[in-house]
Amino acid sequence: RARVVSQPVTEYIRFEHAITGANLYAGEQVRWLPRARASHLLLPGNDFWLIDDRIVRFNIFSGDGQAIEPQASTDHGVIKQCADAFEMVWDLGVDHHQFTL
């Protein structure tokens, strides 16, 4: 899991950071990337989940933070773009245990 975050972080990001221990306990690796360090990256416009390199699910939110119907794609080009974006964020990201808010 890789999270790109604005700084200073919001209360929600503080909450997300605080509960990430459950993700780690479940076997996930989590990295955080301050948005200011991502300016040169070409990232998808929405948060996404890449599932087994077969489908990408985009999480869409309204301007006030409400979840809207998610979108999905099985287009190989879109999947590759998202996988490449994730790898760039992962490489620049800071391991959860070293990331301070």
pLDDT one-digit tens code per residue, 55-70: 999 999 998 889 999 9
Q: Does the predicted model carry a pTM greater than 0.85?
A: yes
Q: What are the CB-based long-range contacts (under 8 Å, 24+) for 46-54?
A: 46/71, 48/82, 50/79, 50/82, 50/83, 50/86, 53/79, 53/83, 54/79
Q: What is the percentage of the chain residues whose pLDDT exceeds 90?
A: 97
Domain extent, residue 31, equals 2-98
pLDDT tens, position by position, 29-64: 999 999 999 999 999 999 999 999 999 999 999 988
Domains of the chain: total: 1
State how far the Cα of 70 lies from the Cα of 83, in Å rounded to an integer.
Answer: 18
